Amino acid sequence: MKRFIYAIALFLIFSVCAKAQRQTDASKKLSLAAYVISTLYVDDVNEDKLTEDAIRAMLEQLDPHSTYLDPQEVKDMSASLDGNFDGVGIQFTMTNDTLYVIQTVAGGPSEKVGILAGDRIVEINDTVVAGVKMSTKDIMTRLRGKRGTKVDVTVLRKDVSDPIPFRITRDKIPVYSIDASYMVDKHTGYIRLSRFSATSAQEFVEAMLKLRRAGMKNLILDLQGNGGGYLNTAVKIADLLLADDNALIVYTEGRRSPRTEEKTSSKHLFPDGKLVVLVDEGSASASEIVSGAIQDWDRGVIVGRRTFGKGLVQRPVPLPDGSMIRLTTARYYTPSGRSIQKPYTKGEAKAYNEDLINRYNHGELSNADSIHFPDSLKFYTLKNKRVVYGGGGIMPDYFIPIDTARYTDYHRDIAAKGLINQEVTSYIDRNRKELNANYKNIDKFIATFEVDEKMLQDLKSLAEKEKIKYNEEEFQKSLPLIKAQLKALIARDLFDMSAYFKIMNQYNDSYQKALELIGMQEAYEQLLKGK
């Protein structure tokens, strides 16, 4: 049966590629197999599903990153990477099976009609969405729609006795890839980039210019957990940070793809000043292009843990029904010639996907000495001739072990159940007027707001209702993290995502080390010289 499945998949690809002028013996065999199944098989066959299963099964025999996306998956991917989608413009969470508005997009459709943070949407187009355990995906499907179309929602608002109806006209909603951008001190800026989307380079330029006007001379670029995105966006951002003209940023090469090089222009927005890039095991693909180029040209210091190791280039192959094959056609290499792709065996995606678990079990995430590279993977940076290694991600210049001290089973359970977010929602709902009156800016909030005992007791009560067994030792161990998360989530609701990271970064060891290095000229320069 597997042979039939592979046959159908290959037949589909040959059909899509109409430019093929002659069929090989293999393609003739595949065409015949597909015809035989469609005309002679004993039972009815769902040909669409069989075709999709066939394509997925075939791609599973290749590398781990060659994938098939159905039409809905293509739309979802495009929305996150193209930088916009059509919708109503709210950020929401589900609390007690109720859609709770965290924030409205500034100038967006929901803000224009008067929807406020803290509102509870209970109906969408006469469909009750509160108390019916509707999934987030179902909610989004009902709220999103083509630009110019309308959606009716009913809202419950604190201190208003009757439900409030709204009619929202959907519009283009921007999806920002910069989560946070702010000045850490008088001379140090911070930018957190969550993905490399179509709009990321322009967002980055705007954030950099704003920070420079505020006095930025040094930059912390946070790529932790950034899984990548568009290659050309990575090239544009690296170009802004590197110092030399016509310097190689990255090159790609494959069996049927000749070597293609991407080089810097003369548009260097931040060619000097201290630069620290934060990475971890979740930083992949485009993140590795940027951090690899910065490291290879000795432009800045990389801090954190070894990156994911995704150095394969996927070419999108659109199919007639709106689905897509993303086929690996090349590998990308850093300026020194390093391949970032970690090893894999074709057809064994399970083992590949367990790599991060294996890294943790082998101690790599907690101890840099557990990482060993053979001399065959040794390369040298292009200016200072420091030793760097290829063959599996970017190894940072300064290693930061993963913080496991504050994480416990109790914290994991309350976080997984969404109880920290639920307590924040309830707290803000009870105290929004007072909070808005007392905290006009984030600096005052950070300096004076404290998570009180009542909030913690309420959180414990929520956990008890969810039958999460209380453990005093684990609670005390995780208490600093719990308080930080509660405070940061309240700040996000009152202000923005930058406020959230201003608080959480106080507990981020990589971020703290970056600040330390920027303040220590000698230590920073020694890392760049490989000492």
pLDDT at 203: 96
Classified as helix, coil or strand, 519 is: coil
pLDDT at 463: 94
d(CA 321, CA 49): 13
d(CA 32, CA 130): 53
Classified as helix, coil or strand, 474 is: helix
Q: Which residue out of 236, 274, 310, 513 is catalytically annotated?
A: 310
pLDDT at 30: 67
Structure token pair of residue 381: 């940076």
Inter-residue contact 213 to 181 (CB < 8 Å): no
CB within 8 Å of 411: residues ≥ 6 apart: 474, 478, 481, 482
Exposed, middle or buried: residue 187 (CB in 10 Å: 0-12, 13-18, 19+)? middle
pTM comes to 0.86
Task: Residue count of the chain, please give it.
Answer: 531
CB within 8 Å of 256: residues ≥ 6 apart: 329
Q: Which residue out of 179, 239, 296, 298 is catalytically annotated?
A: 296
Inter-residue contact 312 to 286 (CB < 8 Å): no
310 is catalytic: yes
pLDDT at 450: 96
Classified as helix, coil or strand, 5 is: helix
Inter-residue contact 492 to 485 (CB < 8 Å): no
Tens of pLDDT along the chain (531 residues)? 445 445 554 554 555 454 444 456 766 776 777 778 878 888 887 777 777 888 888 888 888 888 898 888 887 777 667 767 788 988 887 777 788 888 888 778 988 888 888 888 989 998 888 877 777 778 888 888 889 999 999 998 877 888 899 999 999 888 889 999 999 999 999 999 999 999 999 999 999 999 999 999 999 999 999 999 999 999 999 999 999 999 999 999 998 889 999 999 988 899 999 999 999 999 999 999 999 999 999 999 999 999 999 999 888 899 888 999 999 999 999 999 999 998 888 877 777 877 878 887 888 888 877 777 777 789 999 999 999 988 889 999 999 998 888 889 999 999 888 899 889 988 998 898 899 999 999 999 999 999 999 999 999 999 999 999 999 999 999 999 999 999 999 999 899 999 999 999 999 999 999 999 999 999 999 999 887
Backbone angles phi, psi at 173, to 5 degrees: -115, 120
Inter-residue contact 424 to 490 (CB < 8 Å): yes
296 is catalytic: yes
Element (H, E) at 93: strand 90-95
Structure token pair of residue 293: 């180029």
d(CA 312, CA 340): 8
Amino acid at 119: D
Inter-residue contact 212 to 190 (CB < 8 Å): no
pLDDT at 13: 52
The 8-class DSSP code of residue 196 comes to B
The 8-class DSSP code of residue 101 comes to E
Element (H, E) at 103: strand 98-104
Sole residue written with tokens 């990389």: 302
Amino acid at 325: I
pLDDT at 20: 46
Nearest by Cα to 489 from 429, 428, 403: 428
Q: Which residue out of 110, 177, 285, 339 is catalytically annotated?
A: 285
